[in-house]
A and B are shown apart, each in its own frame.
Chain A
Amino acid sequence: MNDFIASIGLEVHVQLKTRTKLFCAFPAHEEGDPNVAVCPVCLGLPGAMPVMNGEAIRQTVKTGLMIGSRIALRSTFDRKNYFYPDMPKNFQISQQAAPLCLGGAVEIDVGGQPKTIRVNHIHQEEDAAKITHLENSSEIDFNRASTPLMELVTEPDMASPDEAMAFLIALKEMLIYAGISDCNLELGQVRCDVNSSVRPAGTDLLGVKCEIKNMNTFKGIHRALTYELARQVEVLRSGGMLVQETRRWDDEAGVTLPMRSKEYAHDYRYFPEPDLPPVVLDAATVEAWRAELPELPAVKRARFIRDYGLPEYDVGVLTADQALAEFFEAAAQQSKNCKAVSNWVMGELLRALGEQGLGIADAKITPRALAALIALVDAKTINMPAAKEVFQVLFEKGGDPAAVVKEKGLAQVSDAGAIDGFAERAIAANEKVAAEFRGGKETALMFLVGQVMKLSRGKANPQLAAEALRRKLRG
């Protein structure tokens, strides 16, 4: 591959998180029985008229604002003509001449190499119905028909499958953060057409482009691109010619195959959609929408490193989910020990959530309670095993950590007299180990500390226990 340069461009279709469809007031994202969320508009019945869902416009514009697009203050809709049973009115309402968002860019980072991937434009369009192909017929479900989609088209700026993957992950993260899409790949909420070409290193002109249609997993895109780029290089190396074509990815065989020309014969003959008036935005509306945007993931990561002095790894875990990041931040602001807050959130909290398949919103523990729990550990009021026990109670039932410590009798025993007593009993019961320690076997002390913890039912302060044991064994 070294003597060739790859250029990858993506057309990413994202389902927007609206309650209703793009052109009718019936529920979007219906996952139940087929054909229960449909009406004459999304069935394409003659005479039915589309009415624009303003929320879809708002979300597409917000996406443009996040990536620095120029927002078109006047944008129009067009009919993209094609004949296929997933679109019975024989055209898809889309935008070609004047899309909502122009330009923009997404920053990615692959192996510490930052790179800017330019976006050509984002346009708004309707989704098609879902077709299931059977042995001798095809079945059509219109629940998905007219679900709002935005299509984001990049420039061919990605040079490897890793960069394409990084772009998609960065985009997905932003869209989830801003509540624009859930980006659930299993539900087909993100689907990509992948364009790629290769050219000899040292040349500028882009090579012949191949398009892989309808990819719906990021892993599949990575595998398909890895295969496809190697295929293109191989054709050129062996003296062959590439033809511009549309291919599909066969996931099982792990190869891309040319699609029969009939399958994608299109000549869309776009023309203006007469039933939808133009979308006209004023600067004040656009600015109001900009004000709704959350802090973007990359900005948040930089701030967490700066403000809380956390390692990059921690910051990556904490900011992967916006709610988790908020929880961390609320706890950290009430704590003197930010690293401990990070450790608890990444460790116990994520473990407990994962075990029960819960989201952060389901956890009963408050950020304030976690901060208070960490303060109890730092003040040596409780030891780590006791703190984990308290955490579990707080996680399931909520409440105040000090009250839980009291109720369960978990306060650490730091009273010298009591610890001396446990130490004496531990030595008496384990004369052999005590003799080994006296003979110079330092590790024997750990066993005795363990015995003190056992006798105190986990409540002894381990440091004080070790000190008491040393005193008595030397004495």
Chain B
Amino acid sequence: MIAASLLKISIQALWANKLRTGLTLLGVIIGVTSVMTIISALEGMMGAVESQLDRLGPSTFIATTIGGVATSEEQWHEMLKRKPIDIDYADDILEGCELCEKVCPRTFNSANIKYRGERLRDVFVMGSTYNLIDVVDFEVDQGHFHSREDDIYRREVVFIGETVREALFSGVDAIGKSIRLDGKKYTVVGVAKKMGSMFGQDRDKFVVIPLDVSIKQFGKPRRNSNFVIKARSVDDLDEAMDEARIVLRSLRHVPYDKPDDFILLTADAILDQLNSVTRIFRMGLVGISSISLVVGGIVVMNIMMVSVSERTREIGIRKSVGARQNHILLQFLFEALLTTLTGGLIGIVLGYIAAASLVQMIDMQISPSVFGMVAGLSISTGIGVIFGIYPAMKAARLDPIKALSYE
């Protein structure tokens, strides 16, 4: 009951002092906005990477020679010197790894594509087997992915990304049309669903052709290849990776006392690595932006100190009619909390808007995060309490007589 009345008194005091309240709000808003911008943007980016990696599926891993995150220059050089992954190993892996359900070799090249008068340069060309679609989840928009027969008979068929379709076939049905990849003729059998861009990279500017057709046109791959392997189930993933490791070590003649000269990557592992590499960077950013929070807090404290000394008489009057220390403390703490919470809410919204526009520059989207909101509200409440408690205590402890005779 008393608390409710005190809250009302605080609101009225804030309302009566619009300029001061506005300035305090501004201090809080600047602080919270900058922290929230950084947190939301970072969280959004990590979320986007995560959702991208999700395409790999939880029971899938990649076998490659170069990949993951190199933690030193030597490691990077060592990776570059490795023998490439031989795509002919697909059958050996499938045979030697009981728990591996599908093994898809992939090659990566680039080509210029032409259809009638239209052309598109530097398109990413993936060569793979028909079952890639079961392992990596491209979603099919029109037509279908190439078939087992297409692989066996080495048919010149192509599955195209949305950017390719748009560039060559705007307003025309693409299925069944002939396009040229570096001059060679292919028939379009399917179109993938749009994936959008990320980090400024267009993820729809690609085509997929049968593996052997790609080897015929581009030659046997050197470093530009890897395997996508799907375990029988998520639970089997770890064991499947162990089995695949043993097969690959023996195929690549790795001595028993030497480390692997290849990497098996899961989505989780990539994410973990990314997280650990970017952690310090992220903490640094949050740390730097926190400085503005401290500044905001000091603004709150300063203005409250002025407010307390300006209202010394009021405090004296309240005490003379029976306000206890806690009543005065609460009244001033409420004022601090109301301003910082309001500022915090505004800061969260502004921070989100700022983060969204920042992240849009690298072709990503973020959604409002619960973590961000909770963090923003706790941060602003924290400022309110931490920087509000001292002035409020000072007010609460004033001697009634001195306060009443204060000029």
Q: Do A and B bind each other?
A: no
The residues of B with any CB-CB pair to A shorter than 8 Å are: none
